[in-house]
Every structure is written in structure tokens, then in C-alpha cells.
Structure 1
Amino acid sequence: MTYGGPGEPEGLATRTGGIPLTPAGTTWPHCATCHGPMQFLAQIVLDDLNRPMDSGNKQDGGVMAIFMCQNDPGMCDEWSPIAGGNRALLFPADGLAPMSAPTPGENDEEVLRLGAVSAVTLVPSPAADYFSAREEWASRSGNELRNVLGQLGGQPDWLQGDETPRCSTCTHPMDLVAQFEEGPDHSTAMNFGGCGTAFAFTCAPCVQAAFLWQC
């Protein structure tokens, strides 16, 4: 996933930032620790991954919306897939609309949304692992490494030990949907502890998702 320039804030596309698209009536996620509304980080259109959202006969793969608490960074265990400081939500692709923000005044706009919307361009790579693919793309294209937004699918490249989450329903290890870098511009980047990387996972048969990061 490479930086494709400014993105459409309400587009049905894989992107970072903007406004989440969700079914009508979906409630904005709140942190389990501080109880404040989370920041919307990214939307992934699962058809880009060519992996269905469940094991039925759906024609569309749905979307994943990722949120993380930024009300008091570092204090709500927002790196953990189970502590309640982040949420990865799965929705069918039909009937989505821009999600209503929490009540005005409940929190500042910059806490709810990133300062920029980044479109994602998908570039295939023959490299054996993500970090090698990242270096190879930057060298071949003449781009800076910061313009790599992450990878879609594949295998996680951990900064620390393997923390692949297990599905809370079936207990099987989950599959990687995407690995994220913080973003090309520090002033509008996602916060993964400073130069960290994040991971979104799903269990397709159980329609469950999880998110975590390492630095």
C-alpha cells in the first residue's frame, strides 16, 4: 500500500483518515478505559484483498473500519488487541453511509479524525517479506520510505515477537488483512508509539476482527 495523494473523505475505498462508512445507526466506538470516543484511522475494502468477509455466498467482501483511542495517548493500552483501546469493525459493503460523529463538544475534531485523508495505491511486489518489499519499492520508484503506507494481505512482519491474535469465537489464529505504517506526514500521522507499525486481522468464518501495534 503506497501513498496515492489526498483521498476522498467519504469514498468507498481503502484509505486512511476521513469519515468511516457504516450501516445506519452504527454507534461511534468509545474506549473501554477512558470511555471517550476513539479516533478513526483507516477503512479497508476487503474486495481489494480478494478475501470474503465470511464463509457464505456473499458477492462483496465488505469493509473494515479501524478506530483507536487518542484521548490520552499511551494511557489506554491502545496497542493491545484485547484491552478495549482500539476497535476493528466489519460491515457488509451495501447500504453504507458516512458515520455520525459523537455529540459536538464531546471531544475535539482532531481526536476523532486524522488531519488528512490518504488514498491508497496498491503495488504488487515479488519480495519475500514486507520490509524487503518496502525497501525495494522505494529504491525502484525513487520514492521515500515514508510513502509506503503498509501492506495488504501477506504475512505480518513483526517489530517484536509474533503477536498474532486468536479469534474470540473459534480460538483459531486470525489472518492478516493489513499492516500499517504511521503515514507520510508526521503532523497528520497515525500514532503507533513513534515509528511503530500496526496490524489488522480477521477471522472470516466468524466475522471477527482485531487490531494491534508494535514499536
Structure 2
Amino acid sequence: MRILIVEDAPMLGDGLRRGLQLLDYAVDWFSTGTEADHALGVVHYDAVVLDLGLPGEDGMSLLARWRARGSRIPVIVLTARDAIDSRIGGLDAGADDYLVKPIALDELAARLRAVTRRAAGLSSPVWKHGALEFHPAARQAYWQGKPLELTSREAMLLELLLAHPNRLLTRDFLRDKLYDWQGGVESNALEVHIHHLRRKIHPKIVRTFRGAGYTLGAAEDCT
């Protein structure tokens, strides 16, 4: 899951970025609306964590513009404003959720999971695909009832495939979701992760469309 943080306070912004990275999220952090706007134009983010009190154009105006452009990306608003009208204003501008500072990292991560599940139409706490079960909150997968030992990147990739079961996912799309701009990545890293998923789960759990991308294998083929 790749997250965009828009927060002008250096200590908080860097702390959220580092904390979410430790929880195996790919995270980009920017301090201005201009930078965030540019990032949203080039990267397929899963969610945005948006501070309202930004310098220049504030977060409320930024969010309203994104929604006016038709963007449906889940947005969690961060605000130091505890007044009810501020919360209502953020939700009316198109926010999916809000948190009042100071915030707990575990709560932010839980809310990110919730808004991204809703956006994907996957409200169930357990996702099933044939003999495969995936628990997104814990990023734990089970194959034929037995727990799988997956690396964090393998679990993230499996989550992406399960979240888009009928969609062809390009190599660039998957790389965008798995890696932020700070993290170096080898050219064949994605193929290595896919190879490991096939070895640990089933050879047909991931289908390759040469020159186009990858998709989740049919449940009936993975028995």
C-alpha cells in the first residue's frame, strides 16, 4: 500500500513517514499542496493523510479541488482544530475520515486500512480466494488452512492482487504501489516476488500477460 502524507510540520511529517514505513507501507511525504498535487498526478496512491493547516493553500481547499477534479482517493484529514465545525467542514469537503492531533500511529494505520478497504469494496476482515485466505489487518495469509511465511513485500503484492481480482495490473502500477521514491529497487524485484508467491502458494496464483502485466489466477485453477 502506498500512502501520500501532506504535512508541513517536519517532526510530525517525518515521524509519520518513518512510522508507517516500519509497518511496511510505502510512503511519500510532502509539506506543501503544490508538491502533493504533482505527486498525485504521477503516482497511484492508495490513500492520502492530509493536514488542514498547510502554508499557502490550506488542506481544505486542496481537498475540495481534488474532489472537484473527480478524484476518489481516500483521504484522512489531520487537524489540530478540535472544533466540531472544523470536522464537519473536512468531511463536507470530501474527507473519508479525520483525526485530531496528537495522533497514535496504530490508530492511523487502522483507519488507513478501513478507508482503503471501503474504497476497494472489500469490507470483510478476511478475504478469500479458493483455498487462500488473507487477513489484511495482520497481513497474514493462509493456504489450505496453514499460515504462509511471506515477506512484507510478498504480502503487499498478494494484497494488491486480491484487492483487484479481475483487473490486469501493469508492472509500473505494481512498482508504484510497492515502493516509494526513497527506496531503491532492483529491476527484477517484482518478478522475484511473483516467483516466490507461486512457489509458496500455487504455480497459478499469479497469471502473467507478457508485455502487459499480471493478474490474480482463477480460484478454480489453484487447487
TM-score (normalizing by structure 2): 0.24
Larger gyration radius, structure 1 or structure 2: 2
Query: Which is strand-richer, 1 or 2?
Result: 1
TM-score (normalizing by structure 1): 0.25
Higher relative contact order (CA 8 A, sep 6+): 1
